[in-house]
Amino acid sequence: MRIVHLIMAAVLLVSIFAGCAAQPAQKPVDRVTLQLKWLHQAQFAGFYLAKEKGYYAKENIDITLIEAAADTDIIDRVVSGQADFGVHSADSILLGRSQGKPVTGIAVIYKHSPVVFVSLANSGIKSPEDFLDKTTALDGAAFADARLQFFAMMEKLGLDKTRIKTVPYEYDFASFKSGGVPITYSYTTGGLIRLLQQGIQVNQILPEDYGIHMYSDTLFTSDALIINNPDLVTRFVRASLKGWQDAIGDPKEAVRVTMQYAREKDFTVQSKMMEAQLPLVYDGEDVVGWMRPEVWSGIYQTLSDQRLLDQPFDPATAYTTIFITNIYGGKNK
């Protein structure tokens, strides 16, 4: 817990000195980069709002938002200093820590995962039990969260994973739509929207309905930045969460601003993505960005059960609630 004590001390010192300065001199603008998890789209609406509404500027931050590709190693970009902050799933942050990569989660954007498994409505496949002796499009995904949740769900239910055949995932769902592959993974905020737009009726099987609770999009940074510049981390998180609060409060404006960035200039698609992610970001239980230790511990246990961790470690070292606690005054409501 050494890093936590260092953070607390640093944050306290920042607060003391800030209060003592009667007329602080204008500091140089902090230029920071945020490595996104994917291409520009409504998934990152809160960050766009924070930038366009001047929330980062008010925190003396000039931010650059960087897209990711399928082969982008988001964790390594932050570890190497190519980006100051990143957006990735909590399980990826935990996996990084198990590999000795000094990264720490600082706020959760998606408190629930958008991973969903779908089958054609008339297939009779409506639950994980129905997956047995069937083929699932799961291999070669850009992110490992779908595969992790799939097998964690099957194992939790005591279902024989050896009776599952997996094949490569297809972005256009061609084999799925033709009936050649009866089950495919998707995201409620992405592929599912496109399937429904095409008039394809599906059954939806959500791992979370079967006890697999995963934090998805999570803000993280390097241990070095937390230790060396906790004030910058605080300001960055505060501006980012304010942008996400606005996105939840006014989804239409969030989509309008997103359209300035989005690769896919389809207002309907971006609007439906925004609509689908609202309950993932704010579920009515905690304020935007809040993290619960028991969820992190649960994700760690899932990774451990799947034998995916390179080395065991204390999951509490993979995240810190100090910044969100400081920003919200210790209140999660």
- Counting Cα atoms < 13 Å in the Cβ hemisphere of 84 gives 19
According to DSSP, residue 82 is labeled: S
- pLDDT tens digits along 68-103: 998 899 999 999 999 999 999 999 999 999 999 999
Judged by average pLDDT, the poorest of 19-23, 118-122, 268-272 is 19-23
Please report, rounded to a whole number, the percentage of residues in the chain having pLDDT higher than 70. 92
Cα(325)–Cα(317) distance, rounded to whole angstroms? 16
Cα(96)–Cα(194) distance, rounded to whole angstroms? 32
Arithmetic mean of pLDDT, 305-332: 95
Cα(227)–Cα(238) distance, rounded to whole angstroms? 18
pTM of the shown model: 0.90
54 dihedral zone (left: phi>0; alpha: psi -120 to 50; beta):
left
Domains and CATH numbers, the chain: 2-8+29-111+214-328 (3.40.190.10), 115-210 (3.40.190.10)
Cβ-based neighbours of 210, under 8 Å, separated by 6 or more: 128, 153, 156, 157
Contact 53, 243 (CB under 8 A): yes
Residue with tokens 């230029």: 31
- pLDDT tens digits along 57-70: 999 999 999 999 98
pLDDT at 11 over 70: no
Contact 101, 74 (CB under 8 A): no
pLDDT at 155 over 50: yes
Please report, rounded to a whole number, the percentage of residues in the chain having pLDDT higher than 90. 87
Q: What is the pLDDT of residue 20?
A: 42
pLDDT at 26 over 90: no
Q: What is the mean pLDDT of the chain?
A: 92
Judged by average pLDDT, the poorest of 19-28, 252-261, 306-315 is 19-28
